[in-house]
Amino acid sequence: QVQLVESGGGLVQAGGSLRVSCAASGRTFSNYVMGWFRQAPGKERKFVANIRWSGGSTYVTDSVKGRFTISRDNAKNTVYLQMNSLKPEDTAVYYCAASRGVSTTMPQSYDYWGQGTQVTVSS
């Protein structure tokens, strides 16, 4: 029903910036919550940020708050994660996800996932 495709990842020096995008296609719903997660090598997938399609309220995890911002363009069915002041520990595959339910940080609660985009931050 919903297909998510991430883009915009790449290699960046520490202190630099990247913006990753998540384009949603197929049926979307105004009550969806869109989330960004990341998974570093050898680690579990962890929550980064989410946003509501309707109203645009956001929640960002403490480890990236102040550096990362999440936004959306409802007309384009696209969610963005702007990443500034990147650190090597931000290196991960970044995934976008969609949930029909309440806003949550738990990966298990998200119904749709993209394939991920690699973000590598060099020192």
Cβ contact 100:29 at 8 Å: yes
Measured torsion, CA atoms of residues 71, 75, 78, 80, in degrees rounded to the nearest 10: -20
Query: What local confidence, expressed as pLDDT, does residue 30 receive?
Result: 79
Per-residue tokens: 31? 């009550």
* pLDDT less than 50: residues of the chain: none
Burial (Cβ within 10 Å: 0-12, 13-18, ≥19) of residue 107: middle
Query: What local confidence, expressed as pLDDT, does residue 50 receive?
Result: 97
Query: What local confidence, expressed as pLDDT, does residue 17 receive?
Result: 98
